[in-house]
Amino acid sequence: MVCFRESHMAELTMTTFVSLDGVMQSPGGPAEDPSDGFSHGGWVFPYADDEMGKAMVEIFSKASAFLLGRRTYDIFASWWPKVTDPGDIIATQLNSLPKFVASRTQSFFPWKGSSLLRDVEHEIPNLKKSYPLEVQVHGSCGLAQTLIAADLVDEYRILTFPVVLGSGRRLFGAGAVPAAFELIKSRSTPKGVVISVYRRAGSLKTGTF
């Protein structure tokens, strides 16, 4: 593995789809993640449009490697290797770049370029030093909780959809550490998806009126 100077060290970025009430579970389809009786899978589909697609292509084009939870890895691995169009930037990136999988139950991953990351908290610093651009996390709800609790995410790309789900796994769960964030940029799509970029801005500050 080629190492770059620290000045070119990758950032760990997290891209996720959430509802207005913060749920990120099973955005792509009913069968994606029905755990705990979640029955609203596929809530992203009605709001997908060209503007959202362009935003995702822009994000994926910045990747040097991917860090995925096992469930998200399995979902991606069941679809993206079948997409062989060289003009599809997302497929090209996912199929050609290294993919590290955080899993406690599996050690072999057949998708080309995939390998196990055994100890996420301790291995991420070295992982970031090994790549020049971004190590990207997509989806991966369980992994997200570990990364958030350890304050390892450099930048969040949160796509908020105009729906309330009422139940399901949330991006910032009960174990999230109170923290402040800076909004770097934000825009909306014609179908009402708000695409916001946040970076950590120190500890939570409070006051009174």
Output b/e per residue, 139-177; b: 16+ Cβ within 10 A. Answer: bbbbbbbbbbeeebbebbbbbbbebebeebbbbeeeeee
| H-run or E-run covering 10 | none
Joined together, the tokens standing for residue 85 give 């169009």
The rounded distance, in Å, linking the Cα atoms of 27 and 47 is 11
Is the pTM higher than 0.85? The answer reads: yes
The rounded distance, in Å, linking the Cα atoms of 6 and 131 is 10
**Average pLDDT for consecutive 10-residue bins of the chain (209 residues)?**
56 97 94 91 96 96 96 93 94 97 88 93 91 95 92 96 96 88 97 97 93
Cα 201 to the chain's mean position, in Å?
20
Residue 15 is assigned to a structural domain of this protein: yes
Q: What is the pLDDT of residue 152?
A: 93
Q: What is the pLDDT of residue 4?
A: 43
Residue 208 is assigned to a structural domain of this protein: no
Q: Domain limits at 28?
A: 6-203
Q: What is the pLDDT of residue 108?
A: 85
Helix (H, G, I), strand (E, B) or coil at 159: strand
65 vs 100, 147, 172, CA distance in Å?
Answer: 8, 16, 24
Strands 134-138 and 63-69: parallel
For residue 65, give the nearest of 94, 87, 103, 107 by alpha carbon.
94
Q: In the chain, how many domains are there?
A: 1
Q: What is the pLDDT of residue 3?
A: 46
Joined together, the tokens standing for residue 24 give 């990120």
Query: Residue 78 belongs to a domain with what CATH number?
Result: 3.40.430.10
Q: What is the pLDDT of residue 7?
A: 52
Residue 209 is assigned to a structural domain of this protein: no
